[in-house]
Chains A and B, each alone.
Chain A
Amino acid sequence: MILTRCLPLIWLFLLTACAGRTLYPLPGKGGKGAKLPIQTSRPYNIAHRGSNGEIPEETAPAYLRAIEEGADFIETDVLSTKDGVLICFHDFTLQNTTNVASHKEFADRNRTYEVQGSNMTGFFTFDFTLKELKKLRTKQRFSFRNQQYNGKYPIITFEEFITIARDAPRVVGIYPEIKNPVLMNQHVKWPGGVRFEDKVVETLKKYGYGGSYLSKKWLKRPLFIQSFAPSSLVYISNLIDSPKVLLIDDVTVLTEDTNQTYAEITSDVYFNYIKQYVVGIGPWKDTVVPVSNNYTQAPTDLVKRAHAHNLKVHPYTYRNENEFLHLNFSQDPYKEYEYWINEIGVDGLFTDFTGSLHNYQEWTSPLSETSKSPRQLLSQIAALVLPYEKA
């Protein structure tokens, strides 16, 4: 009698025991304290659009590969879809890095818009809903890079990107860019007068990002927010205390939001102003060290002045291919890393080849030598003192 009554109960118990969540945290998702922390003793290895030297940019595999190869940060450009979803994508048009052109159903989306003063024609991200974008497949932008993954991987959302970082077996930072905010805010409207920048910050906060540079909170979830638009960085300065970086384009390009020249935004006066809002600058490397006849010339004083204002410098972009390497580097990307890290003294590098930079850093400044635990330091000091003890 009692047994048949209890049977459903027993069945329910068995069900719960077998299929319910375990009471202990999964090893892969161990307490944050158990993860190998981010290194802070040598310049940051920033995986520019993921490991896009090998895999189509800004895809999940490109980011996973970068983490595997030792990136300190995975970098991305945040844009918006038609329905206001934040995605990871560099160009505001889709034709260079996806197979949109082969999707007949979207043929009528080829449009012309004015962007930063010039007319541009193409398939714009903000003319597609997320669902539609997810039908597309990415392709490798550069013809001289590996084409074998073309058509395989979809565009990912900003949230998916964050999840990749969060799920990594060691602490991996993220480096999202508020990309083309003027264009995004023109073409995408969120309810309640919320702006593109608000949505980016909202997403970051949702996943627990925050904390000033090198704070305990920041070290758990390292983050730099970058943008070419200083007004966007200023706008979010009250919303989130995470470190921000002002990107600086070529000497002929005006800022997209404030129409300021290169000379203006790299002046001491401007550094004095902007350093209240950012921890560093991200300049195009050929403006830091000008190039003539494909040879680097004498460096400008940009890095010196930035450092004098306590601003970090994270130039972009380092690439292995000889077409990008200036001749004095003998077609050797390691020579280029050596120059920028040891002679120019930058604090981080945006690279398309995470593995090569990691290799270089591991061989020339291995972490075991540059960052020691207190115990290691003490034993090292003891070893130094010992010979003199019995003097």
Chain B
Amino acid sequence: MGGVKYCLPLLLLSLLIAECASRPLYTLPSLAKSGTKKPLQTSRPFNVAHRGANGEFPEETAPSYMRAIEEGADFIESDILSTKDGVLICHHDVNLDDTTDVADHKEFADRKRTYEVQGMNMTGFFTVDFTLEELKTLGAKQRYPFRDQQYNGKFQIITLDEYIAIALDATRVAGIYPEIKNPVFINQQVKWADGKKFEDKIVATLKKYGYKGSYMSKDWLKQPIFIQSFAATSLVYISNMTDSPKVFLIDDVTILTEDTNKTYAEITSDKYLDYIKPYVVGIGPWKDTIVPVDNNRLTTPTDLVARAHSRNLQVHPYTYRNENQFLHSGFHQDAYLEYDYWINKIGVDGLFTDFTGSLHNFQELTSPLPKLQ
């Protein structure tokens, strides 16, 4: 009798606790198998949200990426750099001056340094001089004064892990498009334990979250990804570590590659394209080198796209922006005319855009996806 007296309240209490606090035995609807998620579209050029929807939100912040997914991005794009303590973060510039309020943080005033980056001296506050904890105290701001300033100081810099989580959490399949950014500089300034390099750490993180599979494979379609870099050696270096598709970025005609000091002419030659082809599925050129511009007018297109396509290399140019200062004269200040030209006349396979919603709109209006039966 005494035993029951003790056990009963305890039992009831346990049941109560179990009822209220335990995990439900069914999977949360939001975490349903990715097989039930709306798949990635592959029937029209990819809408790549360049730094998120950064036409509207400060670039590379969580809201910027979530907004891009909301607006219909096929891929959310990011630049990977490192903190002082070797944490991988999403940030485009090696320095923090243009995109954060670091200048207002008196406690960091002594961190202003000068480094040589890609052959030029740069002064500012560099990500590699701040720990993650310190970076998290900064507020991101909109880089361009003519874009919405109302979110300045509100959002933090995010890590590669947080960025991946945003993509995986989306209610439809959303791809990621991370860039191995300034690897030469990062590897100079940041040393990881176990002798690992910047590129190793990135691949390790991607693998941790299950990113794998060659382009258009079943694995890839579940978690689409392109790994991009201006540094061909980095892409070659990781080619044995991951079969995820890689894209070789190509800068302006006057810029030398940061890792191999090669010229534009050299890395866009037939010989080089043949060389790089086994390692990448495509190239990502600056659009004004594909169709040169004179006096703000487009001139005759080069044969870069044709030569890339003949080698089965995709072309994903950057960057498309709505503002009239970025639109060349023939487009009459109308970004949709620019999309029309690049998609229908030049025939690119993907577009890095600051205005995900506009590209999505254009594509939905002119090449709507077939309705699922």
- Spell out A's residues near B (CB within 8 Å): 53-54, 144-146, 148, 293, 320-323, 327, 330-335, 353, 355-356, 359, 363-364
Question: In the assembled complex, which residues on chain A have CB atoms less than 8 Å from the CB atom of B334?
Answer: 320, 333, 353, 355-356, 359
24 A-B interface contacts by CB (under 8 A): A144-B325, A145-B333, A293-B150, A320-B332, A321-B324, A322-B146, A322-B323, A327-B148, A327-B150, A330-B357, A330-B358, A331-B322, A331-B335, A332-B322, A332-B335, A332-B355, A332-B358, A334-B361, A335-B357, A335-B361, A355-B332, A356-B332, A356-B334, A363-B365
Find out whether the CB atom of A330 lies under 8 angstroms from the CB atom of B322. Answer: yes
Bound form: Cα–Cα A241–B259 in Å:
75
Question: In the assembled complex, which residues on chain A have CB atoms less than 8 Å from the CB atom of B56?
Answer: 327, 330
Knowing A322-B146, A364-B365, the reply to whether A331 touches B323 (Cβ < 8 A) is yes
Query: Knowing that A331-B322, A331-B358, A359-B337 are A-B contacts, what are 19 other residue pairs whose CB atoms are under 8 Å apart, sorted by A's residue number?
Result: A54-B332, A144-B324, A148-B329, A320-B324, A322-B322, A330-B322, A330-B355, A331-B55, A331-B335, A332-B335, A332-B358, A334-B336, A335-B357, A353-B332, A355-B332, A355-B334, A356-B334, A356-B336, A363-B365
Question: In the assembled complex, which residues on chain A have CB atoms less than 8 Å from the CB atom of B361?
Answer: 332, 334-335
Find out whether the CB atom of B365 lies under 8 angstroms from the CB atom of A332. Answer: no
Q: Does B366 contact A (CB under 8 A)?
A: yes
Question: In the assembled complex, which residues on chain A have CB atoms less than 8 Å from the CB atom of B337?
Answer: 355-356, 359
Among A146, A331, A363, A364, chain B packs the most CB atoms within 10 A around the CB of: A331
Could you tell me the distance in whole angstroms from the C-beta of B301 to the nearest C-beta in chain A?
A: 21
Find out whether the CB atom of A334 lies under 8 angstroms from the CB atom of B332. Answer: no
Find out whether the CB atom of B333 lies under 8 angstroms from the CB atom of A321. Answer: yes
Bound form: Cα–Cα A146–B334 in Å:
13
Question: In the assembled complex, which residues on chain A have CB atoms less than 8 Å from the CB atom of B147?
Answer: 327, 331
Could you tell me the distance in whole angstroms from the C-beta of B319 to the nearest C-beta in chain A?
A: 14
Question: In the assembled complex, which residues on chain B have CB atoms less than 8 Å from the CB atom of A356?
Answer: 332, 334, 336-337
Question: In the assembled complex, which residues on chain B have CB atoms less than 8 Å from the CB atom of A148?
Answer: 329
Q: Contact partner of A146 among B55, B329, B336, B365, CB < 8 A?
A: B329
Knowing A322-B324, A327-B148, the reply to whether A363 touches B333 (Cβ < 8 A) is no
Find out whether the CB atom of B357 lies under 8 angstroms from the CB atom of A332. Answer: yes
Question: In the assembled complex, which residues on chain B have CB atoms less than 8 Å from the CB atom of A363?
Answer: 365-366
Q: Which residue of B lies closest to A327 (CB)?
A: B148
Question: In the assembled complex, which residues on chain A have CB atoms less than 8 Å from the CB atom of B150?
Answer: 293, 327
Find out whether the CB atom of B333 lies under 8 angstroms from the CB atom of A320. Answer: yes
Q: Contact partner of A53 among B53, B332, B365, CB < 8 A?
A: B332
Bound form: Cα–Cα A359–B361 in Å:
12
Question: In the assembled complex, which residues on chain A have CB atoms less than 8 Å from the CB atom of B322?
Answer: 322, 330-332
Bound form: Cα–Cα A148–B330 in Å:
12
Among A54, A146, A330, A335, chain B packs the most CB atoms within 10 A around the CB of: A330
Q: Which 7 A-B pairs have the closest CB atoms?
A: A320-B333, A331-B322, A363-B365, A322-B323, A332-B358, A321-B324, A356-B334
Please report which residues of chain B, range 145-160, place their CB below 8 angstroms from some CB of chain A when the two chains form the complex. 146-148, 150
Question: In the assembled complex, which residues on chain A have CB atoms less than 8 Å from the CB atom of B146?
Answer: 322-323
Could you tell me the distance in whole angstroms from the C-beta of A343 to the nearest C-beta in chain B?
A: 16
Could you tell me the distance in whole angstroms from the C-beta of A53 to the nearest C-beta in chain B?
A: 6
Bound form: Cα–Cα A356–B322 in Å:
13
Question: In the assembled complex, which residues on chain B have CB atoms less than 8 Å from the CB atom of A334?
Answer: 336, 358, 361
Among B323, B329, B333, chain A packs the most CB atoms within 10 A around the CB of: B333
Q: Which residue of B lies closest to A148 (CB)?
A: B329
Question: In the assembled complex, which residues on chain A have CB atoms less than 8 Å from the CB atom of B329?
Answer: 146, 148
Could you tell me the distance in whole angstroms from the C-beta of B54 to the nearest C-beta in chain A?
A: 11
Bound form: Cα–Cα A145–B334 in Å:
12
Bound form: Cα–Cα A334–B336 in Å:
9
Knowing A293-B150, A322-B324, A331-B323, the reply to whether A353 touches B333 (Cβ < 8 A) is yes
Q: Contact partner of B333 among A53, A327, A359, CB < 8 A?
A: A53
Could you tell me the distance in whole angstroms from the C-beta of A327 to the nearest C-beta in chain B?
A: 5
Please report which residues of chain B, range 13-63, place their CB below 8 angstroms from some CB of chain A when the two chains form the complex. 53, 55-56
Q: Which residue of B lies closest to A69 (CB)?
A: B332
Q: Which residue of B lies closest to A294 (CB)?
A: B148
Question: In the assembled complex, which residues on chain A have CB atoms less than 8 Å from the CB atom of B53?
Answer: 330
Q: Which residue of A lies closest to B144 (CB)?
A: A322
Could you tell me the distance in whole angstroms from the C-beta of A335 to the nearest C-beta in chain B?
A: 7
Could you tell me the distance in whole angstroms from the C-beta of B151 to the nearest C-beta in chain A?
A: 11
Could you tell me the distance in whole angstroms from the C-beta of A135 to the nearest C-beta in chain B?
A: 28
Please report which residues of chain B, range 298-334, place their CB below 8 angstroms from some CB of chain A when the two chains form the complex. 322-325, 329, 332-334
Bound form: Cα–Cα A375–B331 in Å:
39
Please report which residues of chain B, range 349-368, place their CB below 8 angstroms from some CB of chain A when the two chains form the complex. 355, 357-358, 361, 365-366
Q: Which residue of A lies closest to B358 (CB)?
A: A332
Q: Which residue of A lies closest to B366 (CB)?
A: A363
Question: In the assembled complex, which residues on chain B have CB atoms less than 8 Å from the CB atom of A355?
Answer: 332, 334, 337
